[in-house]
Amino acid sequence: MAFRHYNFFSLVFLATTTILLAGHSHGSAVELDPNGLCQNADNKQFCREIVYNLTDPHDALVSSIHKLVYASKNAKKLALKQGSSEEIDVCIENFEESVDNLKSGLKGLEDHDLPTLNINLSAALTNYVTCDDAFSEFGKTNPLAKTDALLEEMASNCLYLLTLIH
Ligand SMILES: *[C@@H]1O[C@H](CO)[C@@H](O)[C@H](O)[C@H]1NC(C)=O
Ligand SMILES: *[C@@H]1O[C@H](CO)[C@@H](O)[C@H](O)[C@H]1NC(C)=O
């Protein structure tokens, strides 16, 4: 599956993402991804911003999933502020499901059940795509398109980080 790549900083101003950098904006410069975990990522810069200063792939994945849970909850809040429509309802339902999938995935990671984690992360990703599809099927514009694209990018980055864990 190919995703359009977004520069992380261009998305930082979205409500869903402000938290990602909330703790990062003050203090001295931090070396991002000091262990080069992101060197094979599709979107290296995006990956580096997510990994931040973490050096262990396991820690980086846990942190990335937590960020995605947070972003999914915020996406739901944003969706609830849109005028109600069948399509928005699909998005809300799918964002909720993604949160469940991600929580289940974190449990899988705790149990070192990587196949389950993979299934749960893929399911979360599919849910974000489903939100887009709900609109595009009827030729409508998704008001959450940018947020959704960010969530998809974050989920595919989690799937990438998972490949670093054995
Ligand atoms: C990573 O960043 C956090 C928050 O900015 C800081 O508290 C922590 O000491 C840093 N860790 C390393 C290994 O630099
Ligand atoms: C996560 O994946 C496992 C394995 O397929 C599945 O049993 C579980 O229901 C999934 N979690 C959610 C919330 O869908």
Quick one: average pLDDT of 70-95?
96
Q: Is the pLDDT of residue 25 over 60?
A: no
pLDDT band at residue 17 under the 50/70/90 scheme? very low
The pLDDT of residue 83: 86
Closest CA to 17 of 27, 7, 26: 7
Taking the CA of 108 as reference, the closest ligand is 2
User: Greater confidence, 11 or 91?
Assistant: 91
152 CB neighbour count, 10 Å cutoff: 22
Ligand 1, atom 1, residue with closest C-alpha: 53
| CATH code linked to domain 32-162 | 1.20.140.40
93 lines ligand 2 (CB under 6 A): no
Quick one: average pLDDT of 95-114?
97
Question: What are the residue boundaries of the structural domains of the chain, listed by start?
Answer: 32-162
CA of 128 to the centre of ligand 1 (A): 31
pLDDT band at residue 26 under the 50/70/90 scheme? low
CA of 121 to the centre of ligand 2 (A): 10
**C-alpha dist (Å) from residue 130 to 87, 91, 92, 111, 120:** 10, 7, 11, 29, 15
The pLDDT of residue 46: 97
Q: Distance (Å, rounded) from C-alpha 51 to C-alpha 59?
A: 9
Ligand 1, atom 9, residue with closest C-alpha: 53
Indicate the pTM of the whole model: 0.85
Ligand 2, atom 3, residue with closest C-alpha: 116
Per-residue pLDDT of 108-143, as tens digits, reads 999 999 999 999 999 999 999 999 999 999 899 999
Residue to probe by mutation, ligand 2, list 120, 122, 130, 159, most atoms within 8 Å of CB: 120
Per-residue pLDDT of 29-78, as tens digits, reads 889 999 999 999 999 999 999 999 999 999 999 999 999 999 999 999 99
The pLDDT of residue 19: 45
Radius of gyration of the chain (CA): 15
Q: Distance (Å, rounded) from C-alpha 17 to C-alpha 151?
A: 10
Q: Is the pLDDT of residue 3 over 70?
A: no
Q: Which residues line ligand 1 (CB under 6 A)?
A: 23, 30, 53
